[in-house]
């Protein structure tokens, strides 16, 4: 018989100790508010915003809309958000309209 040893027993891909895939710091946090622009729509009809390239699904929004959202969940590959404000009231907070930029509420 031939036994193969891979020398990595017990350590799977993406383990927290190995610094593998998914170990980068997420640009959003649960409970914080962000100003975003919805750049796309998912297959399920949710708006898609991006902050530093990180995808956030926001139900009740549509492409091209600016909105203030609260992040409700963060996973390894994406986040979910909830609509707080839409349209001009979100844009008037001073945030840049680009989807990749965010402004945290200084009062929070």
83-97 pLDDT, tens digit each:
999 875 444 333 333
How many other β-carbons are positioned within 10 Å of the β-carbon of residue 47? 25
The answer to whether position 7 is within a domain reads no
Asked whether residue 4 carries a pLDDT value surpassing 50, the answer given is yes
Q: Which residue has the tokens 């001009």?
A: 88
- Residue 49 CA to residue 62 CA, distance in Å, equals 10
Number of domains in the chain: 1
Residue that wins the pLDDT comparison between 74 and 18? 74
- Quickly list DSSP for 58-107: ETT--TT-EEEEEEEEE-SSEEEEEEEEETHHHHTTS--S-TT-----TT
Q: What is the CATH number of the domain that holds 75?
A: 2.40.50.140
The answer to whether position 17 is within a domain reads no
Q: Which residue has the tokens 């609509």?
A: 83
What domain range includes position 60? 33-91
pLDDT of residue 24: 75
């Amino acid at each position: 018989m031939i036994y193969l040893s891979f020398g990595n027993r017990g350590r799977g891909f993406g383990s927290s100790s190995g610094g593998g895939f998914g170990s980068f710091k997420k640009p959003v946090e649960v409970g914080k508010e962000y100003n975003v622009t919805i750049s796309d729509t998912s297959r399920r009809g949710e708006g898609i915003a991006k902050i530093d390239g990180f995808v956030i699904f926001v139900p009740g929004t549509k492409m091209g809309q600016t909105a203030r959202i609260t992040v409700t969940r963060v996973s390894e590959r994406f986040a979910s958000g909830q609509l707080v404000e839409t349209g001009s009231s979100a844009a008037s907070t001073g945030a840049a309209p680009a989807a990749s930029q965010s402004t945290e509420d200084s009062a929070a």
